Amino acid sequence: MTILHEKDPTETFNITFDFSNHMQSINSVVVTCSTLINSRLSSDVTNIASTTPVISGNLVIQKISGGQSGNTYKIRCEATGAEGTFVLTCTQPVRTL
């Protein structure tokens, strides 16, 4: 799991999931977001994955925005291609900078 740099709740930017080690191209993708508290999933889910993900060859580009300061979010990207289904995850800490 990759830990991204802290983001301010007002920031909006793209993150990229690179599936080049797993597949040549992606046919479909599902990106989900959950809130982590003390490394455990919380029932308080805020979706910081703000738009539909974009597939570009074996990359998935996801815009993230918002979030509550003090929370850390787990972003899960599940991609399916001819080689099978693979999952990459990252965590995004949100802090008022």
d(CA 56, CA 65): 21
- pLDDT mean across residues, the chain: 90
Name the β-bridge partners of 45.
none
**Full-model pTM:** 0.88
d(CA 16, CA 69): 22
3-state secondary structure 2-31: EECCCECCCCEEEEEEECCCCCCCCCEEEE
The pLDDT of residue 71 is above 60? yes
Token pair in block for residue 82: 């001819």
Domain that holds residue 46: 2-93
Between 44 and 76, residue with greater pLDDT: 76
Task: Assign residue 11 the CATH number of its domain.
Answer: 2.60.40.1220
DSSP code at position 43: S
The pLDDT of residue 75 is above 70? yes
Written as one letter, the residue type at 79 is A
Least confident of 21-25, 34-38, 55-59, 82-86: 34-38
Between 15 and 34, residue with greater pLDDT: 15
Please give the average per-residue pLDDT across 29-58, as a whole number.
81
- Residue 97: pLDDT band with limits 50, 70, 90: confident
Number of domains comprising the chain: 1
Q: Are 90 and 78 in contact (CB under 8 A)?
A: no
